[in-house]
Amino acid sequence: MTLPLEVKQINKRFKDGETYIDVLKTIDFKIKKGEFVAIVGPSGSGKSTLLSIIGALLSTDEGNVLINGKSVKNLDESQRSEVRLNDIGFIFQTAELLPYLHAEDQLDLVAKLNNMDKKERKERAKALLTDVGLEKRRKHYPHQLSGGEKQRVAVARAFMNDPALILADEPTASLDEDRSHEIVSLIKQEVKAKDKAAIMVTHDESLLTYCDRVFRMKDHHLIEDK
């Protein structure tokens, strides 16, 4: 069975002057369909570097990443872009919405880049915004939406191209406590309903109850909570 994500013995180091600093050491794990996983750890522990490698944004020194069964190790930048577009949905710290597009068109743009049929794009965008509770707000522009509503649009957008893997980088960093729980609960709901795999990087320990598994960055290694 093809897994949404396999991380195989990843090592990553950065050069600092004449020396090299280890950031990630022998990171090795897998995620199945329908799993919602959290990665926690202090600032500078390597969480963002790991997420960038998994997201085909950064190369690894040793090891490999397989996304939906496809190795990203030897891909050129054009091929990496295709993987990011087709196989990965990103949710960032802020919604990163385009100010001149209303909610429905934020999703439509992503699908247009993927050459999805216009009718299918419209139907899918409407269905996803309905799923996240924004059916009546789909023609609203970002300045007409609350912080929580903007992040709901971002969640829906991440699922637009039907990716195998969702990557959420501190998705609640700009939200209050109530909205944070609302958004993470929504991500979990969508992951389960659509049988996707998801990784959330977070500092907020109170959100870990929504996750199936929790990993912690410690001394450049990734250790799973038991």
pLDDT digits 0-9 by tens, 134-191: 999 999 999 999 999 999 999 999 999 999 999 999 999 889 999 999 999 999 999 9
pLDDT exceeds 90 at position 214: yes
Answer left, alpha or beta for residue 145, where phi above 0 means left and psi between -120 and 50 means alpha. Answer: beta
CATH number of the domain that 17 lies in? 3.40.50.300
Helices (H), the chain: 47-54, 77-86, 103-113, 118-131, 147-158, 177-194
pLDDT exceeds 90 at position 193: yes
Are 111 and 124 a contacting pair, CB within 8 Å? yes
Report how many domains make up the chain: 1
Q: Lowest-confidence range among 42-51, 146-155, 199-208?
A: 42-51
Sign of CA dihedral 15, 16, 22, 24: negative
Which residues, in sequence order, are CB contacts of 128 under 8 Å at separation 6+?
A: 107, 156, 157, 159, 160
In this prediction the pTM is 0.94
Q: Which domain holds residue 11?
A: 5-224
Vertex 122: Cα angle to 116 and 123 (nearest 5): 100
Q: Which of 175, 165, 167 is nearest to 204 (CA)?
A: 175
Name the band, by pLDDT with cuts 50, 70 and 90, for residue 17: confident
**Locate tokens 């699922």: which residue?**
159
Pairing of strands 165-169, 88-91: parallel
Q: Which of 35, 40, 36, 37 is nearest to 205 (CA)?
A: 40
Name the band, by pLDDT with cuts 50, 70 and 90, for residue 42: confident
User: Percent of the chain having pLDDT more than 90?
Assistant: 89
